[in-house]
Structures are given as C-alpha cells and as structure tokens.
Chains A and B, each alone.
Chain A
Amino acid sequence: GQNIDQPTEMTATEGAIVQINCTYQTSGFNGLFWYQQHAGEAPTFLSYNVLDGLEEKGRFSSFLSRSKGYSYLLLKELQMKDSASYLCAVTKVDNFNKFYFGSGTKLNVKP
C-alpha cells in the first residue's frame, strides 16, 4: 500500500489559522487531493495539487512538494463549521484516478 500520514486530531480556535500536514511515500505519484468530511456525511472536494506550489481557494489553500512527499492544507479565518475530518488522498499515474486516502485529521474548532 501507500504510506500516507496525517495527524489524527487537531484543535484550533475560531478565527485562527490552522495547517494540516500530510506526508506520503508512493511510486508513480500523479496528484494529491484534499477532501473535507463532516461526521456521517460524504467527503467533499476541497483542492487538488499536481505541481509544486500553493493553490489558493478562498479561505483554503493547499501546498505540495513532490520532492519531499509533503503537502499541507491551510485553513484561514476558522469558523465553527470547519470542524470536520480532513482527508489527504494521492493518485498514481495511469491508475484511473483511484484514491489512496490517509486516515484523516479530525479538526476541532473551539469558540
């Protein structure tokens, strides 16, 4: 399998900034996705990185370093509704976009 590591749980304060890290070891790396999943709900797409660098989408940004096998998801101006699990997933070349997911990081946003 693929080694995809994320912290299990994090806590942050409403209005703050939080960075969720993801490291991976895989051959034939194609791209890295971040999904958000609220308890009991479907994962929803947040961002996708295939090249090194930062992708920004509103309050959410995702960074990738292919040489280091490292990504992070940055959440700014945290809101209570951001309390959820954040899943890091990698895809491989010529693998029909099958996702290899990490175990997810549960983010608790407190007032």
Chain B
Amino acid sequence: DTGVSQDPRHKITKRGQNVTFRCDPISEHNRLYWYRQTLGQGPEFLTYFQNEAQLEKSRLLSDRFSAERPKGSFSTLEIQRTEQGDSAMYLCASSRRGSQTEAFFGQGTRLTVV
C-alpha cells in the first residue's frame, strides 16, 4: 500500500488551456474525493465518488470542471479553458466506506495558470 498518489505534482499552464490530473486511491478504498486548497485556506470539497458513481458535485465545480472514475479505481479531474482563478492545490483523498473513517490524502497537484 503506497497511499494515495497524484500526478502530476506540479502543472503550469497558460490561460485557456485544458489540464487533466490523475489520482490513484488506496486500492481497497471505495470512496474518492477531490478538494481544492488555496494558500492559507483549508481544503474545499469539489466532488465525491463511491466506486464509479459520482454522487455529489460542489457548486464550486463549474461547467469547465469534469471528474471521472470509470472503473471505480483511479480518477481524473479535467479543467477546460483554465482561468487564473483556477490556480490552487488540487487534493485527492480516499477512504473506506463508513461514517467514522478518516480520509487519506494525496500530495496534491499544484496548478498555476499564467
């Protein structure tokens, strides 16, 4: 078990470009979450998957954002037509099913839109 891994760790892109991030959760975890974190703030919830089903999306997730978890294992988060306001750390977390289980976070992908 190598924990939650995210790729890439850093991404610099020009405004208007599309970017895609990948998250590989801990293998036996069926819950997967995406969060966004800006400097000096706590992570904000973006979306949640239980297995392959996307069960909730935050209103923070505009139409330019899409997430998938096609086989209930890894997940991707795509941002289309990036804007400078999208610059942030994108964190993925996974957990076992249950109401009292901690989530394990990946190292995050730091996105800078120039």
Interchain CA distance A69-B59 in the complex, whole Å? 26
Nearest A residue (CB) for B91: A42
B65 touches A (CB below 8 Å):
no
B99 touches A (CB below 8 Å):
yes
Residue from A8, A43, A103 with most neighbouring chain B CB atoms (10 Å): A43
Which of A91, A93, A96, A101 has a CB less than 8 Å from the CB of B43? A101
CB contacts (< 8 Å) of A50 on chain B: these are: 100
Q: How many contacts between A and B, using CB within 8 angstroms? A: 63
Total count of chain A residues near the partner, CB < 8 A: 28
CB contacts (< 8 Å) of B99 on chain A: these are: 30-31, 91, 93-94, 97
Residue from A41, A48, A99 with most neighbouring chain B CB atoms (10 Å): A99
Interchain CA distance A87-B44 in the complex, whole Å? 12
Tell me which residues from 78 to 104 in chain A have a Cβ below 8 Å from any Cβ of chain B. 87, 89, 91, 93-94, 96-104
- B101/A97 in contact, CB under 8 A: yes
CB contacts (< 8 Å) of A63 on chain B: these are: none
B50 touches A (CB below 8 Å):
yes
What size tier do the contact residues of chain B reach?
A: 20 to 34
CB contacts (< 8 Å) of B33 on chain A: these are: 98-99
A30-B99, A42-B91, A91-B99 known; A100+B104 contact, CB < 8 A:
no
Tell me which residues from 4 to 52 in chain A have a Cβ below 8 Å from any Cβ of chain B. 4, 8, 30-31, 33, 35, 40-45, 48, 50
A42-B91, A42-B105, A97-B99 known; A104+B41 contact, CB < 8 A:
yes
- B105/A97 in contact, CB under 8 A: no
B85 touches A (CB below 8 Å):
no
- A42/B108 in contact, CB under 8 A: yes
Which residues of A line the B interface, CB within 8 A? Answer: 4, 8, 30-31, 33, 35, 40-45, 48, 50, 87, 89, 91, 93-94, 96-104
